[in-house]
Amino acid sequence: MSIYEYKVKDAKGRNVSMANYRGKVLLIVNTAPNCGLAPQYEALQALYEKYRDQGFEILDFPCNQFGNQAAGSMDEINIYCDRVYHTTFRRFGKVDVNGGNAIALFCYLKSEQGCMIGSDIKWNFTKFLVDRQGKVVARFEPLTKPENIEENIKELL
């Protein structure tokens, strides 16, 4: 299996193949606009602006599994993130990342990069770094600030 074998739903509910991102360095993040960690959107946007022309993409997956912090509709989430944090990276449809309804992509990410206390995602803003060949090379827990993984991204670019 590789990351390119998965399909996900965009913010409008349409299927998107992860193969569309072949050859790109990806940072895949489960997010929530009402989370205390939401200011990380600003740092994510800064990384995106700095490296997108070099083949870097951020894939944002809102998730309402942690404290009901992504409770709005996708339109509300998009408007909020665009207005407050000025995000321009790709946002997908709301997902579950743990449990029986977790989407296959996140099951795969967790199987490739678990953590010391099990593979479940603990909170919003867990980040997975994927190289240009589609290999999941690192997992960063929610408190890891995006700017602290910039060197990891640069190495893959």
CATH number of domain containing 129: 3.40.30.10
Q: How many domains would you assign to the chain?
A: 1
Q: What is the DSSP letter of 96?
A: B
Structural domain boundaries enclosing 93: 3-156
Work out the average pLDDT over 69-96. Answer: 92
Q: State how far Cα 153 lies from the chain centre.
A: 14
pLDDT tens per residue, range 41-56: 999 999 999 999 999 9
| Token pair for 95 | 């997902």
pLDDT tens per residue, range 99-149: 999 999 999 998 877 665 568 889 999 999 999 999 999 999 999 999 999
DSSP output for 44-94: HHHHHHHHGGGTEEEEEEEB-TTTTTT-S-HHHHHHHIIIII---SEEB--
Residues serving a catalytic function are 35
Helices and strands, counts by H and E, the chain: 4, 7
Question: Which pTM does this prediction carry?
Answer: 0.94
